[in-house]
Amino acid sequence: LQVIRPGGHLGDYMAALAVATGAFFVALPGSTHLLTKRIAYGELVIVYVSTVLHGAQEGVARQSIYVACSTALGAIASVLAMLLPYPRFAYNEVT
């Protein structure tokens, strides 16, 4: 966001290239846990999609709040999904 000037927009192709480059660097370390990599991929997509849609006018602080809230919401949904017994019932139905 600091590279884009305040009135400018990030193009679709440049955003796709930035996401691909970021995904490559996230995937590089072999010692990183898979869940950590999945969260990083999701955050990359959130940051670049909102930057393409809204441009650089939102600012770094507001963008950071969006990413943090999205990650927290995803974590809460994951814990809630693990606590509900319904997927276990579906698995028993299939087997």
12-22: pLDDT as tens digits: 787 788 888 88
29-67 per-position pLDDT tens digit: 887 788 788 888 888 888 777 777 776 666 677 777 877
Residue 5 lies in a domain: no
Given a contact cutoff of 8 angstroms between Cβ atoms, the answer to whether 47 and 63 are in contact is yes
Count of domains for the chain: 1
Nearest residue to 26 via CA among 37, 17, 18, 15: 37
Residue 89 lies in a domain: no
Residue 53 lies in a domain: yes
Given a contact cutoff of 8 angstroms between Cβ atoms, the answer to whether 41 and 26 are in contact is yes
Residue 2 lies in a domain: no
Range of the domain at 72: 33-84
Quote the pTM value.
0.61
Residue 9 lies in a domain: no
